[in-house]
């Protein structure tokens, strides 16, 4: 392992599973508010673990730029956000100061992708083995709606399960306690637990935010678990200190876009939406005005949305994810492991057909997807499916198959195909 790299593509660490859920899956996961994954590998290769025989470095030597480059392998188009995440990871792993982040971004921009890639980072870097208990949990699972109470036990149980998967079959009480206390807690869809819903107070949202606030400030929480003591498995009670955990909360905050847009466009606001020059895939140039939340969001907007000020104050940084432009969407389409093109290519290979796509065709699809600013990379799926579905149904009947250099047949998605399909809609 060289000083300027984090990982080497070798064998698994201490018998752990070598494949972790790939980051690209969430970009296209309909059940995730974020979209999750962006793997850069064109063939969709899964993350690989490192060789435990490599020299272990002091954690202080794994600086934010190295962490950034490792995370960037799996997250596309969010360099600014990844810089904040990299600093947070460095703070967390060196134990210097607390490092909590609030991620805000439209559906499909990569919030869950970042969370998944944190899990990959901790798995792939041998020095980060003590921090591998990463838990991604939906915010609404942390509140008992019937009793109107915060349920930290559900969170700690999820962390414990992850810790057990890492530690093996017979963890000691100290092993469990240390793994849980060093955990990274990723709370998804935090915006669904707003203190205000449709202009009315939402008590459940207040309960959740106050409960998480307590944990983020540092709390001793009693947690019942099973561990091995003197060779015998026993029920024990662990006193968990949450002050060393890292909390990353994310949400789409859909309503806040309209809220801020109305404030900005209100006569007399003194603010103006920026215009920019856009070069289309066909080589045309146009001037476009597009609202970007990152240009205008203020802390007061979060409070009005329903986020408790004290809760927001516990985050080191509120990070706004970029809306994905056509250039990034094209890269995701071509290279993300779970992109519709890569999935379709795997499908055609079952029939000994090699699927290809012209560069301009990919650019036209990405450009059309880029118009859907609220769905991010997920918008690629229906657009590409509409084009390729007739060929998936009956490739031989389309009379477009050509022989490749080898024994496989070749199907090429051309720019003309894309234009023809778009013209029908």
Same domain, 106 and 250: yes
Q: Is the distance from CB of 82 to CB of 298 less than 8 angstroms?
A: no
Q: What is the pLDDT of residues 158-197, one digit of tens each?
A: 999 999 999 888 889 999 999 999 999 999 999 989 998 8
> Does residue 17 or residue 118 have the better pLDDT?
118
Q: Which of 322, 361, 324 is nearest to 341 (CA)?
A: 361
Q: Are strands 220-229 and 232-241 parallel, antiparallel or unpaired?
A: antiparallel
Q: What is the mean pLDDT of residues 217-233?
A: 90
User: Could you read off the pLDDT of 318-340 as tens digits, one per residue?
Assistant: 999 988 888 899 998 998 877 89
Are residues 352 and 299 both part of a single domain? Answer: no
User: Could you report the per-residue pLDDT of 360-393, keeping only the tens digit for each?
Assistant: 999 999 999 888 766 778 889 999 999 999 889 8
pLDDT tens-digit series, residues 80-91 = 999 999 999 999
Q: What is the CATH number for 359?
A: 1.10.8.60
pLDDT number for residue 255: 87
Looking at every residue in the chain, the average pLDDT score rounds to 83
| Total residues belonging to the chain | 425
Element (H, E) at 101: strand 101-104
Q: In the chain, how many domains are there? A: 2
Give the model's confidence band at 119: pLDDT under 50 very low, under 70 low, under 90 confident, else very high.
very high
129 inside domain: yes
Q: Residue 6: inside a domain, yes or no?
A: no
Distance from the first to the final alpha carbon of the chain: 53
Going by pLDDT thresholds of 50, 70 and 90, the confidence category of residue 402 is: low
305 and 372, same domain (yes or no): no
Strands of 191-302 (E only): list them: 196-197, 200-201, 220-229, 232-241, 246-251, 275-279, 285-289
Over residues 53-67, the pLDDT tens digits come to: 456 789 999 999 999
Read off the tokens for 182: 């060093």
State how far the Cα of 78 lies from the Cα of 62, in Å rounded to an integer: 21
Determine contact, residues 151/73, Cβ cutoff 8 Å.
Answer: no
Identify whether residues 290 and 368 lie together within a single domain.
no
- Would the pTM of this model clear 0.85, i.e. be above it? no
> What is the reported pLDDT for 186?
95
């Amino acid at each position: 392992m060289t000083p300027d790299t984090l990982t080497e593509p070798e064998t698994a660490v201490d018998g752990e599973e070598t494949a972790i859920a790939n980051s690209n899956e969430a970009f296209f996961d309909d059940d995730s508010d974020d979209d999750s994954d962006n793997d850069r590998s064109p063939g969709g290769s899964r993350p690989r673990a490192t060789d435990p025989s490599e020299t272990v470095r002091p954690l202080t030597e794994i600086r934010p730029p190295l962490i950034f480059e490792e995370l960037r392998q799996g997250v596309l188009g969010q360099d600014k956000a990844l810089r904040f995440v990299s600093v947070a990871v460095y703070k967390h792993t060196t134990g210097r100061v607390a490092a909590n982040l609030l991620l805000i971004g439209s559906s499909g921009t990569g919030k869950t992708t970042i969370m998944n890639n944190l899990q990959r980072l901790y798995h792939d870097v041998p020095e980060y083995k003590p921090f591998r208990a990463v838990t991604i949990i939906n915010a609404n699972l942390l509140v008992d709606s019937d009793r109107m109470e915060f349920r930290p036990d559900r969170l700690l149980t999820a962390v414990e399960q992850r810790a057990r998967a890492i530690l093996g079959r017979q963890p000691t009480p100290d092993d469990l306690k240390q793994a849980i206390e060093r955990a990274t807690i990723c709370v998804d869809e935090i915006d669904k637990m707003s203190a205000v819903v449709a202009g009315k107070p939402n008590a459940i949202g207040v309960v959740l935010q106050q409960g998480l606030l307590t944990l983020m400030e540092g709390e001793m929480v009693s947690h019942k678990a099973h561990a091995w003591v003197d060779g015998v498995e026993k029920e024990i009670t662990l006193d968990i200190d949450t002050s060393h955990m890292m909390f990353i909360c994310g949400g789409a905050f859909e309503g806040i876009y309209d809220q801020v847009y109305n404030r900005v466009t209100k006569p007399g606001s003194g603010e103006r939406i920026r215009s920019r020059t856009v070069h289309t895939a066909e080589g045309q140039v146009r001037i476009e005005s597009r609202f970007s939340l990152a240009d205008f969001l203020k802390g007061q907007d979060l409070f009005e949305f329903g986020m408790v000020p004290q809760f927001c104050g516990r985050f080191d940084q509120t990070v706004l994810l970029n809306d994905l432009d056509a250039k990034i969407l094209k890269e995701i389409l071509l290279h993300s492991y779970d992109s519709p093109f890569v999935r379709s290519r795997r499908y055609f290979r079952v029939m000994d057909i090699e699927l290809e796509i012209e560069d301009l065709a990919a650019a036209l699809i990405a450009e059309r997807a880029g118009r859907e600013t609220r769905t991010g990379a997920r918008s690629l799926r229906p657009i590409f499916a509409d084009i390729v579905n007739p060929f998936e149904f009956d490739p031989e009947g389309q009379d477009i198959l050509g022989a490749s250099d080898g024994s496989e047949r070749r199907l090429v998605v051309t720019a003309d195909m894309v234009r023809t399909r778009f013209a029908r809609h």
